[in-house]
Chains A and B, each alone.
Chain A
Amino acid sequence: MELGGPRCAGLVLLLLLISCGQGRGADPINIWPMPKSVTSGKQTLLLSNDFVLNTQGSKYPDSSGILKDGFSRFLQVLRASHVADSNSSYSSAHFPVCKGLHVVILSPNDKLQYGVDESYKLSVTALGAVYAYLEANTVYGALHGLQTFSQLCHFNFKARVFEVRQAPWTIIDQPRFSYRGLLIDTSRHYQPLIMIKNVIDSMAYTKLNVLHWHIVDTQSFPLEIPSYPKLYAQTRGINVLAEIDVPGHTQSWGIGYPSLWPSTDCQQPLDVSNELTFKVIDGILSDFSKVFNYNFVHLGGDEVNTNLCWLGSHYELLKKKGLNESEAYQYFVLRSQEIALSHGYDIVNWEETFNNFGSKLSRKTVVHNWIGSGVAERVVAAGLRCIVSNQDKWYLHYLDTTWQEFYMNEPLTNITNPKQQELVIGGEVCMWGEYIDGSDIEQTIWPRAAAAAERLWTPYDKLAKDPRRVTGRLAHFRCLLNERGVPAAPLNGPGRVAPEEPGSCYKQ
């Protein structure tokens, strides 16, 4: 075939594109998680090669560069997927061109906190030589808008530039729950800083907003006070919920301070009878409060086996205080809560504390469900707040829990009273680390955590009642993660499964 000049070839391609666009039914909308409200059209516009950020009229000064850096990351993510042709003469002649993104942020404040306004509005008109428009109350809403916008941009293999199809777009979006968490566990296996950063980046892609950092446990105590990941997370709109799991999961504490062990035979729970124990907790939380400024600190409190040790070692002391062992457990938890409150924190505790002495817990407690379903309804009936992480659906190390089950797990199950519904602040998927290190953490998390992320972000009415309806869209998102260098596993099969055979990412 004789090739015509570029103009002529371009015209042919243009006709092809138009006929493709009209030949099919409505294109699917591949955004994950699905926004609250979306309308789209059928036109294509190309992104200018010098696509710019315009903040005219924005009230947010961006002195810390959160928006600017977010925009750079947006460009980087696009450019990492394919090489655009900076000399493409093809573009402006045939398609409207989007020159940049105009971002207007209404609040100058960038304090990241529980309940921060994460809403945004995004519109991409189909008229040429204009800016896409993103409006948000806070910079964190704007970051979510940028993530959504990045999912609208695709490489055009003919024009060799990036394009937005299905324009005009109008998207109005806000999260259903304010707490959308992922737990990582750096005690069972040390996670290198770069892995934690990778996880944070991919959380931002799926609009999760709390990294619950289970820093120390029985096995190791790797923490100095690591401010760096916190700063990294904050610039991506992600809060860090730090946990010290007392008094049960603490054996590693005593390697530095052996007197925290009731005895050398009894290395956990922490010594309830020793004032040093509470001094150390106070010291840690004091350090925490300088670094981790999220509303909440997680004090653990799960799986406390008091029978093993406390009795033998400190029977006399406990008796003197008039405490039996379960009372000593309660005493420990409540005293730790007091310490946390004195440092300005609200407290999160695992559900055993509620199950054992719920009425005694500080009213500022958020109960973190994990053992099973049905806990949240009891917690909110008691007037306390709750985070849902029932292990049968949202524990990622259970590889046989499928993404469909992650998707269908509803935090408000059996909670109908709107006042009580509000007490469920959200949910969290948990990546416990016994069998997880830097080599397999990401594929164990993704794509199943993304399924839960949509449950936590998207309005209930827009969630699929049958997960099969979102398979294609989630597969698309999984391939997008791969394209961005995140090793999200195939959808077919259990968690972290290897692809069974050759095939397209979009079908596996």
Chain B
Amino acid sequence: MLLPLSLLTLSLSSLFLFTFSRPLSQGFSNSTINLDDSLVYLWPLPSHFTFGDDTLSVDPDLSLSLAGVGGNSPILTEAFQRYLKIIFKHNSRVSGDNLRGGLIYDIGELKITVNSDDETLQLGVDEGYSLSIARTDGYSVIGKAQIEANSVYGALRGLETFSQLCYFNYESKTVEVYKAPWYIRDEPRFAYRGLLLDTSRHYLPIDVIKQIIDSMSFAKLNVLHWHIIDEESFPLEVPMYPNLWNGAYTKLERYTVGDAHDIVNYAKLRGINVMAEVDVPGHAESWGHGYPDLWPSSSCREPLDVSKNFTFDVVSGILTEMRKIFPFELFHLGGDEVNTDCWSSTPHVEQWLQDQNMTTKDAYQYFVLRAQEIAISKNWTPVNWEETFNTFSSNLNPLTVVHNWWGPGVCPKAVAKGFRCIYSNQGVWYLDHLDVPWEDVYNAEPIEGINDISKQELVLGGEVCMWGETADASDIQQTIWPRAAAAAERLWSRKEATAAINHTLVTLPRLQYFRCLLARRGVPAAPVTNRYARNPPRGAGSCYEQ
């Protein structure tokens, strides 16, 4: 049963002014600072919710009951085990034995109902869920938390929300839910909520990629855009062209096909799609270490040699191999920052251009469109960086998703021409720009400048980009977090909930709280209010104030 909407009348302004007979701060009483009880410490904020003023204890032996045709999924049982570790990480039974005497805990069971057994993870999969946490209603002995969702992935989002409502009470040594009963009905605003990782500028070990996938699931992000290859290195195995990964930095800094499968599967278990990218023809110098013929000449190593069929054989071979690994319907073909100067200065390419009666700009278009054809023939929807749209929009395949990055105003143009768009305006959503404060990340608006509702729907969502020039395994997480979380709320929560609020009083303490939640879960998220991202705390103090 989905919760009746009548229970969920949304009245945000009144929610934030609520007062409580039992203050939330009892959960934080070991601290000398007091968190503002009137705020809702859920990140990202659910679309509809109501709550009360009761406190419920949660049984450390919380049991799971599964219902619905999709309830038997191992994705759910694995996720439940993960969240038990998160919720009960203070190991309350070690220190809290017998503290409650013979008392029964208020919440003894989590019931998850999933209405569909289709576990296909795709763009637009139903991520909605409802969650209720209430004391026993008289019909059953034990109180329950209940999650209901149409897909197993919606249930994962509900589990995340449930975990964020569970607090460890340091005095009673039990896990408690404050402000119960909770009735939440939630769904994302955008279907595409991405984070880009760049494993070419620095190799990221598999364990690190998995840590990042975990942290994405905490913020309800759902697309890992894997910029695997670039001009600096080619770390991925391509069985059909086994010399390509000679372009890896070292033999130790490579991903096998098995490793890539492992990452895709790990992400899927957390409801996260992996969109792979092959950035052609510009960012591809590393390809030629294994196959020098891909370079127009030894002094002109990118863009890839447009004049040779071999180039497109290799592109096709890579995509054939990648198709076996990446089931997501979107595939990124790059197409950005193509400097064609050295095409015209390489004699055999120049000759080819003349024979084809093409300018270098024509050849750039020819390359991109031919790569699109290859991707489409493999049943992929091509995504291209905005230069392709900016340069030859009328010739782009109409299936193309335009990936904005240069600045504002591109998605409005793309959707006006009927293309779909992903928003990544570098002025606000490039995480390697360390001087962008969290507010600017938070206030970015993917549909800015698009008034027509049917056009707004063409904006699939947005993505924060963690380019890897100065980010490796040692500093990537604190560069991503907490700013990526600011974007995550923008992409998940209702526009009305994230706008027109005093961000300093309402949003900042919530984000600071979420940053400390990440830290408690082992994610080294940086302080929120530092002038530059990734900087250390400015002095001693509480996590909740930094």
Partner-B contacts on A (CB < 8 A)? 80-85, 154, 157, 160, 187-190, 192-195, 198, 219-220, 222, 224, 227-228, 255, 433-444, 479, 482-485, 487-490, 496, 498-508
Contacts and interface: CB of A to CB of B under 8 A. Distances in A.
A344 B100 CA distance: 34
Contacts of A443: 474-475
A485 B259 contact: no
B540 A434 contact: yes
B524 A442 contact: yes
Contact of A82 (B30, B211, B259, B476): B259
B473 A487 contact: yes
A505 B259 contact: no
A80 B209 CA distance: 11
B250 interface: yes
Contacts of A193: 89-90, 520
Interface stretch (B74-82, B127-135, B198-206, B455-463): B198-206
Interface of B (DSSP majority class): loop
B546 interface: yes
A488 B539 contact: no
Contacts of B368: none
The 7 closest A-B pairs by CB, nearest first: A504-B249, A482-B473, A438-B519, A502-B201, A188-B540, A83-B258, A485-B207
Contacts of B509: none
B293 interface: no
Contacts of B252: 154, 479, 506
B541 interface: yes
Contacts of B474: 443, 482, 487-490, 498-499
B256 A157 contact: yes
Contact of B208 (A84, A219, A441, A485): A485
B541 A189 contact: yes
Given A227-B95, A228-B90, 7 more contacts: A160-B258, A188-B540, A190-B542, A438-B519, A439-B524, A440-B526, A508-B472
Contact of B519 (A83, A192, A255, A484): A192
B258 A85 contact: yes
Nearest to A483: B205
A194 B520 CA distance: 7
Contacts of B324: none
Interface residues on B, range: 35 or more
Contact of A498 (B250, B258, B475, B542): B475
Contact of A437 (B94, B473, B546): B546
B232 A83 contact: no
Interface stretch (B16-24, B408-416, B422-430, B530-538): B530-538
B471 interface: yes
A399 B316 CA distance: 48
Interface in B503-546: 519-522, 524-527, 534, 536-543, 546
Contact of B258 (A82, A154, A189, A488): A82
A483 B211 CA distance: 12
Contacts of B6: none
A483 B476 CA distance: 14
Nearest to A221: B30
B32 interface: yes
Given A485-B205, A502-B201, A502-B202, A439 B478 contact: yes
Contacts of B478: 439-440
Contacts of A482: 205, 208, 472-474
16 contacts: A82-B206, A83-B256, A194-B521, A195-B519, A220-B32, A435-B538, A438-B522, A439-B478, A482-B205, A485-B205, A485-B207, A485-B473, A498-B475, A499-B202, A502-B201, A506-B252
Interface string B220-254: 00000000000011000100000000000111111
A194 B85 CA distance: 11
Contacts of A487: 208, 473-477, 524
Contact of A192 (B232, B259, B522): B522
A397 to B, nearest CB: 9
Nearest to A499: B472
B540 A219 contact: yes
Interface of A (DSSP majority class): loop
A214 to B, nearest CB: 13
Nearest to A80: B207
B170 interface: yes
Interface string B442-486: 000000000000000000000000001111111111100000000
B480 to A, nearest CB: 11
Given A83-B256, A499-B202, A504-B249, A437 B543 contact: yes
B261 interface: yes
Contact of B262 (A83, A154, A444): A83
Interface of B: 30, 32, 89-91, 94-95, 170, 200-203, 205-208, 210-211, 232-233, 237, 249-254, 256, 258-259, 261-262, 468-478, 519-522, 524-527, 534, 536-543, 546
A470 to B, nearest CB: 19
A195 B522 contact: yes
A359 B200 CA distance: 61
A439 B258 contact: no
Contact of A189 (B208, B468, B521, B543): B543
Contacts of A442: 524
B87 to A, nearest CB: 13
A87 to B, nearest CB: 11
A74 to B, nearest CB: 15
A32 B478 CA distance: 27
B205 A81 contact: yes
A437 B470 contact: no
Contacts of B476: 487
A189 B540 contact: yes
A230 to B, nearest CB: 11
Nearest to B263: A83
B364 to A, nearest CB: 24
B522 A194 contact: yes
B470 A498 contact: yes
Nearest to A399: B536
Contacts of A82: 206, 256, 258-259
A82 to B, nearest CB: 6
A158 to B, nearest CB: 10
Given A188-B540, A438-B524, A483 B250 contact: no
Contacts of B540: 187-189, 219, 433-434
A255 B469 CA distance: 46
A33 B109 CA distance: 49
A408 B343 CA distance: 53
B477 to A, nearest CB: 7
A224 to B, nearest CB: 7
Nearest to B539: A434
Contacts of A187: 540
Contacts of A220: 32, 542
Given A437-B546, A502-B202, A483 B207 contact: yes
B469 A502 contact: yes
Nearest to A446: B474
From A160, A198, A505, residue with most partner B Cβ within 10 Å: A505
Given A227-B94, A505-B472, A439 B537 contact: yes
Contacts of B249: 503-507
B302 to A, nearest CB: 15
A351 B298 CA distance: 63
Nearest to B519: A438
B53 to A, nearest CB: 28
Contacts of B537: 189, 435-437, 439-440
B524 A501 contact: no
A83 B200 CA distance: 20
B471 A498 contact: yes
A105 B109 CA distance: 45
Nearest to B473: A482
Contacts of B89: 193-194
From B90, B259, B475, residue with most partner A Cβ within 10 Å: B475
Given A81-B205, A435-B538, A439-B525, A505 B471 contact: no
A482 B534 CA distance: 18
